């Protein structure tokens, strides 16, 4: 026993060595390392994350956290610490396990040469090289790790193709932080057309980093004195490479298991690795987000697609509900007959379309480029190949233009073919929108360099860049919602004075606040009790703040101090919809077009809450007074997500605590506390009927039958006098088919049985389409509602046709 201990001990002590290279026949085992000449790089055995499996890897010495940049046996782990790496007599690196089985080996990527003196050596660049002899030129390289990248690119590494040998260098993510085997995501250069780099998930393109424009890839800034970046395209090779000229700075780019491309940075002085770019993407970074012939822009956190001039959405219905992937098609069949009937529109600051179907010529100038495009009727666009010195070379696109994006300041000029008829009235309206947001972190090749350049130039700025970056990230993801001081809010609202009170919402009063700098806010002071703890509450608020849509009121921040929980929203100058629709004079300000716009806008906002947002929110208190109007009278839904804060996030649930407003809640909710998205649809239907009629469901009672608004609408509908419902101030101005369509949609939404009611995506399609709509059935809560009770809590005097028993336990106080 003692003997074995001794053996083991001496084994550990005597064989733990560090070498600078492996000569033929030499080997290293667990505990041993190979160290590069400058001490920057080590090769040895390690376990990633929490795994106990062993891998042979390359890492940076003394960088915190541990930074592995390459793994040899990523798909074939060693089960325990018995691995041995050996350089055999043929110059091949062989990794053996405890029973001498080959786990991994290097293969010789160059043609067999006379291998009399192979030697394996890690270099300070992070490359692990097997050479034949001590020479340092490229000819004697037998194998190098840079030819087989893992998930990380390093300065000097070439990503792309050696066309002579067919070697393709790609990067691929790990499966997880514990498992370096090949994961879902990869980054590659695709040679078709004009070569460009893409990120794939499996075989699906998820983002296109773009093609080289002489300076960088699309959307990046160019090189600098401190760094190099290049793209080589010739008969032998196609690759990207970046370099750093300051040897005390390190910058690596990693495709992490979730598919993001992250950039890390450290220096010889500070060996703490820092994140430069988190690799977050915005929707416009998604490949072909706008489909064919659509241009994406991302203004104020909202992605938007527009068809290029002369094109129209392929499916207007889908386009209207912001499903853009079907893209756009030419509005008019081209009558191009090799004649010069067409012209070109110049789009500036563009991410140019996918070049995989384009042809290129490096010697043409822009004029020649234009001429060769106009001659060929299937040519749809052209651009300079190289944007340096005013532009040179030529790129021509045929057929569809895919994956375009408009930047505010980067990008390049793109000339899109349009029929002369379109050119005539081609104003500047189309792409005029100002873009404020600048994307960060999508580009696989290029961005990296930009970020690193910045820091090398100005080390002090590094921190600023990083914090700026985090701010952008926060803005995008609202990881941390801005918090306001209670004292500031108290001051802004004059101590929550009644004079500043805007209204009383479902979960507390709302005040108008004015900060010292004049900014106006809507301050919602939540009633004290919520079932949640503080952290949960904060997380929930942060989640809700991420919901962003043009038809939702924006949450700006929150304040949690002591008992106080306050939410701060953007202030809507025109207040709420009910102040217009039900007001004798202001109702005149809402003509039919405005009302229709409001009806559609609410539907889109609600669709987003129900289906498109990450959280799938049921509003539960949808009503006319919760619809706010901005300066253009565009509608914004307010108070969404509050139910979640108080009741939890079930999609469909029964609850004792019923929130909601009488007049907008459906029968199944009032009676059984059963709510779902279809309950919101009911509320929406009521709002639509109120907007069209200008009457309040709760307060209305038709003189003959004592019906509420729903009952009244239903009766007019069945008696085919539907237009009688229309607000009299609108009578002269509107298209009756549109009015009737809206009323019909309203009635479909308030049908008694939840399963009969359409979902919001159908509602949006119905409003905008011209197909025949289904016939509505009887609405819920329609007859003989006793409206004598002014109290907001329901009482037994409410006779309901469809519900015999009311079992509302509590109703949000209004």
Ligand X SMILES: *[C@@H]1O[C@H](CO)[C@@H](O)[C@H](O)[C@H]1NC(C)=O
Catalytic residues: 621
Q: Would you count residue 570 as binding ligand X (CB under 6 A)?
A: no
Residue 535: φ, ψ to 5°:
-65, -45
Q: Would you count residue 642 as binding ligand X (CB under 6 A)?
A: no
DSSP string of 402-429, one letter each residue? BSEEE-SS-SEEEEEEEEHHHHHT--S-
Nearest-approach distance from CB 654 to ligand X, in angstroms = 37
Tell me the C-alpha to C-alpha distance, in Å, between residue 417 and each of 149, 391, 433, 590: 41, 19, 21, 41
Q: Which positions from 83 to 122 touch ligand X by CB under 6 A, shown as an x/- string?
A: --------------xxxxx-----x---------------
Q: Would you count residue 16 as binding ligand X (CB under 6 A)?
A: no
Residue 63 burial (CB < 10 Å; 0-12/13-18/19+)? middle
Angle (CA) 676-680-684 rounded to 5° is: 160
Stretch that binds ligand X, among 77-85, 211-219, 225-233, 771-779 (CB under 6 A): 77-85
Nearest-approach distance from CB 537 to ligand X, in angstroms = 19
Q: Would you count residue 136 as binding ligand X (CB under 6 A)?
A: no
Nearest-approach distance from CB 582 to ligand X, in angstroms = 15
Which residue number, 143 or 240, has a Cβ lying nearer to ligand X? 143
Taking CB under 6 A as the criterion, the residue among 53, 175, 331, 724 binding ligand X is 331
Q: Which positions from 653 to 692 touch ligand X by CB under 6 A, shown as an x/- string?
A: ----------------------------------------
Taking CB under 6 A as the criterion, the residue among 52, 361, 611, 793 binding ligand X is 361
Stretch that binds ligand X, among 6-14, 243-251, 357-365, 434-442 (CB under 6 A): 357-365
Residue 357 burial (CB < 10 Å; 0-12/13-18/19+)? middle
The sign one gets for the Cα dihedral 450, 452, 458, 462 is positive
Q: Would you count residue 349 as binding ligand X (CB under 6 A)?
A: no
Rounded to whole angstroms, the Cα distance separating 293 from 314 reads 10
Which residue number, 75 or 656, has a Cβ lying nearer to ligand X? 75
Nearest-approach distance from CB 488 to ligand X, in angstroms = 5
- Among residues 410, 349, 354, the alpha carbon closest in space to that of 381 is found at 354
Residue 656 CB coordination number (10 Å): 10
Q: Would you count residue 593 as binding ligand X (CB under 6 A)?
A: no
Say if strands 294-299 and 404-406 run parallel, antiparallel, or are unpaired. parallel
Which residue number, 98 or 531, has a Cβ lying nearer to ligand X? 98
> Which alpha helices (DSSP H) does 701-777 contain, by range?
709-718, 736-749, 760-768
Q: Would you count residue 498 as binding ligand X (CB under 6 A)?
A: no
Q: Would you count residue 8 as binding ligand X (CB under 6 A)?
A: no
Rounded to whole angstroms, the Cα distance separating 620 from 608 reads 15
Rounded to whole angstroms, the Cα distance separating 204 from 198 reads 10
Stretch that binds ligand X, among 59-67, 277-285, 362-370, 703-711 (CB under 6 A): 362-370
Taking CB under 6 A as the criterion, the residue among 365, 371, 378, 797 binding ligand X is 378
Q: Which positions from 162 to 181 touch ligand X by CB under 6 A, shown as an x/- string?
A: ---------------xx---
Stretch that binds ligand X, among 60-68, 269-277, 447-455, 484-492 (CB under 6 A): 484-492
Q: Would you count residue 53 as binding ligand X (CB under 6 A)?
A: no
Which residue number, 374 or 710, has a Cβ lying nearer to ligand X? 374
Taking CB under 6 A as the criterion, the residue among 364, 510, 670, 691 binding ligand X is 364
Q: Would you count residue 585 as binding ligand X (CB under 6 A)?
A: no
User: Residues touching ligand X: how many (CB under 6 A)?
Assistant: 36
Say if strands 18-19 and 33-35 run parallel, antiparallel, or are unpaired. parallel
Q: Would you count residue 467 as binding ligand X (CB under 6 A)?
A: no
Residue nearest to ligand X according to CB distances in the complex: 98
Taking CB under 6 A as the criterion, the residue among 376, 458, 467, 795 binding ligand X is 376
Which residue number, 14 or 809, has a Cβ lying nearer to ligand X? 14
Give Cα 670 distance to the centre of its chain: 38
Which residues partner with 267 through β-bridges? 249
Rounded to whole angstroms, the Cα distance separating 4 from 342 reads 88
Nearest-approach distance from CB 389 to ligand X, in angstroms = 18
Say if strands 249-255 and 152-153 run parallel, antiparallel, or are unpaired. antiparallel
Say if strands 84-87 and 27-29 run parallel, antiparallel, or are unpaired. antiparallel
Q: Would you count residue 241 as binding ligand X (CB under 6 A)?
A: no
DSSP string of 368-385, one letter each residue? HHHHHHHHSTTEEEEE-S
Nearest-approach distance from CB 363 to ligand X, in angstroms = 5
Q: Would you count residue 788 as binding ligand X (CB under 6 A)?
A: no
Which residue number, 63 or 811, has a Cβ lying nearer to ligand X? 63
Q: Would you count residue 809 as binding ligand X (CB under 6 A)?
A: no
Which residue number, 612 or 630, has a Cβ lying nearer to ligand X? 630
Reduced DSSP (H G I as helix, E B as strand, rest coil) percent helix, strand, coil of the chain, to 5: 25, 30, 45
Rounded to whole angstroms, the Cα distance separating 196 from 189 reads 5
Site for ligand X in 405-434 (CB under 6 A): 421
Tokens representing 792 are 């907001």
Stretch that binds ligand X, among 12-20, 54-62, 485-493, 754-762 (CB under 6 A): 485-493
Is the bond preceding 65 in cis, omega lying within 30 degrees of 0? yes
Which residue number, 221 or 500, has a Cβ lying nearer to ligand X? 500
Nearest-approach distance from CB 86 to ligand X, in angstroms = 9
Tell me the C-alpha to C-alpha distance, in Å, between residue 504 and each of 526, 634, 814: 10, 22, 7
Q: Would you count residue 137 as binding ligand X (CB under 6 A)?
A: no
Which residue number, 518 or 703, has a Cβ lying nearer to ligand X? 518
Residue 276: φ, ψ to 5°:
-95, -40
Which residues partner with 398 through β-bridges? 379
Is residue 512 a contact partner of residue 521, using CB atoms and an 8 Å limit? yes
Q: Is 108 helix (H, G, I), strand (E, B) or coil?
A: coil
Is residue 537 a contact partner of residue 524, using CB atoms and an 8 Å limit? no
Q: How many residues does the chain have?
A: 814
Rounded to whole angstroms, the Cα distance separating 522 from 553 reads 10
Nearest-approach distance from CB 130 to ligand X, in angstroms = 13
Q: Would you count residue 573 as binding ligand X (CB under 6 A)?
A: yes
Q: Would you count residue 373 as binding ligand X (CB under 6 A)?
A: no
Residues found near ligand X in the complex (CB under 6 A): 49-50, 79-82, 97-101, 107, 177-178, 331-332, 359, 361, 363-364, 368, 376, 378, 398, 421, 485, 487-488, 491, 494-495, 516, 573-574, 589, 631
């Amino acid at each position: 026993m003692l003997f074995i201990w001794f053996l083991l001990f001496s084994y550990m002590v005597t064989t733990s060595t560090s070498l600078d290279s492996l000569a033929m026949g030499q080997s290293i085992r667990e505990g041993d390392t190979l160290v590069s000449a400058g001490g920057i790089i080590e090769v040895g055995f390690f376990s990633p994350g929490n795994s106990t499996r062993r891998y042979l890897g390359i890492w940076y010495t003394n960088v915190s956290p541990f930074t592995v940049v390459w793994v040899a046996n990523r798909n074939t782990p060693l089960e325990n610490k018995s691995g041995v790496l050996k350089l055999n007599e043929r110059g091949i690196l062989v990794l053996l396990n405890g029973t001498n089985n080959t786990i991994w080996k290097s293969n010789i990527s160059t043609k067999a040469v006379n291998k009399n003196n192979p030697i394996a050596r890690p270099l300070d660049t992070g490359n692990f090289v097997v050479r034949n002899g001590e020479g340092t030129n490229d000819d004697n390289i037998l194998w190098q790790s840079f030819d087989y990248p893992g998930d990380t690119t390093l300065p000097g590494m070439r990503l792309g193709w050696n066309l002579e040998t067919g070697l393709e260098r790609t990067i691929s993510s790990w499966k997880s932080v514990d498992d370096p085997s090949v994961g879902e995501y990869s980054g590659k250069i695709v040679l078709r057309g004009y070569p460009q780099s893409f990120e794939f998930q499996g075989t699906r393109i998820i983002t296109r980093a773009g093609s080289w424009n002489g300076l960088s890839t699309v959307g990046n800034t160019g090189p600098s004195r401190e760094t190099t970046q290049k793209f080589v395209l010739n008969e032998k090779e196609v690759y990207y490479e970046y370099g750093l000229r300051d040897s005390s700075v390190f910058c690596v780019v990693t495709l992490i298991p979730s598919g993001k491309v992250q950039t890390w940075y450290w220096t010889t002085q500070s060996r703490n690795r820092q994140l430069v770019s988190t690799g977050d993407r915005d929707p416009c970074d998604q490949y072909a987000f706008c489909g064919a012939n659509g241009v994406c822009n991302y203004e104020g956190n909202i992605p938007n697609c527009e068809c290029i001039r002369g094109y129209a959405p392929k499916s207007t219905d889908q386009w209207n509900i912001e499903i853009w992937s079907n893209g756009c098609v030419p509005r008019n069949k081209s009558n191009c007959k090799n004649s010069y009937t067409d012209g070109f529109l110049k789009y500036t600051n563009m991410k140019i379309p996918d070049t995989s179907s384009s042809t290129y010529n490096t010697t043409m100038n822009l004029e020649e480029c234009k001429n060769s495009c106009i001659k060929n009727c299937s040519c749809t666009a052209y651009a300079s190949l190289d944007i340096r010195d005013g532009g040179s070379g030529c790129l021509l696109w045929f057929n569809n233009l895919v994956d375009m994006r408009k930047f505010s300041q980067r990008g390049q000029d793109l000339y899109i073919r349009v029929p002369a008829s379109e050119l005539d009235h081609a104003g500047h309206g189309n792409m005029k929108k100002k873009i404020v947001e600048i994307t960060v972190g999508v580009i696989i090749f290029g961005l990296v360099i930009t970020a690193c350049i910045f820091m090398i130039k100005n080390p002090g700025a590094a921190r600023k860049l990083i914090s700026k970056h985090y701010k952008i990230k926060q803005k995008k993801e609202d990881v941390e919602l801005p918090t306001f001081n209670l004292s500031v809010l108290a001051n802004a609202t004059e101590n929550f004075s009644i004079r500043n009170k805007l209204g009383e919402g479902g979960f507390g009063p709302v005040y108008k606040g004015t900060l010292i700098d004049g900014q106006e806010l809507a301050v919602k002071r939540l009633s004290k009790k919520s079932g949640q703890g503080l952290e949960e509450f904060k997380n929930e608020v942060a989640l809700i703040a991420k919901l962003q849509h043009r038809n939702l009121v924006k949450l700006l921040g929150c304040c949690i101090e002591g008992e106080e929980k306050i939410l701060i929203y953007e202030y809507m100058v025109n207040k709420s919809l009910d102040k217009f629709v039900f007001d004798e004079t202001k109702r005149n300000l809402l003509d039919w077009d405005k009302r229709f716009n409001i009806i559609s806008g609410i539907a889109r906002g609600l669709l987003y809450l129900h289906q498109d947002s990450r959280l799938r929110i049921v509003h539960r208190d949808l009503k006319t007074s919760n619809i706010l109007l901005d300066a253009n009278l565009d509608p914004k839904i307010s108070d969404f997500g509050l139910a979640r804060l108080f009741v939890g996030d079930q999609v469909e649930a029964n609850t004792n605590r019923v929130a909601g407003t009488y007049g907008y809640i459906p029968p199944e909710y009032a009676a059984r506390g059963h709510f779902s998205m279809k309950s919101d649809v009911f509320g929406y239907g009521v709002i639509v009927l109120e907007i069209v009629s200008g009457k309040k469901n709760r307060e209305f009672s038709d003189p003959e039958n004592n019906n509420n608004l729903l009952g009244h609408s239903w009766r007019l509908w069945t008696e085919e006098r539907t237009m009688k419902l229309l607000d009299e101030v609108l009578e002269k101005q509107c298209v009756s088919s549109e009015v009737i369509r809206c009323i019909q949609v309203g009635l479909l939404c308030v049908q008694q049985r939840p399963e009969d009611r359409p979902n919001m995506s159908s509602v949006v399609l119905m409003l905008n389409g011209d197909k025949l709509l289904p016939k509505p059935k009887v609405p819920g809560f329609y007859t003989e509602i006793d409206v004598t009770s002014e109290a907001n809590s329901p009482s037994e005097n409410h006779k309901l046709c469809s519900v015999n028993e009311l079992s509302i336990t509590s109703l949000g106080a209004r």
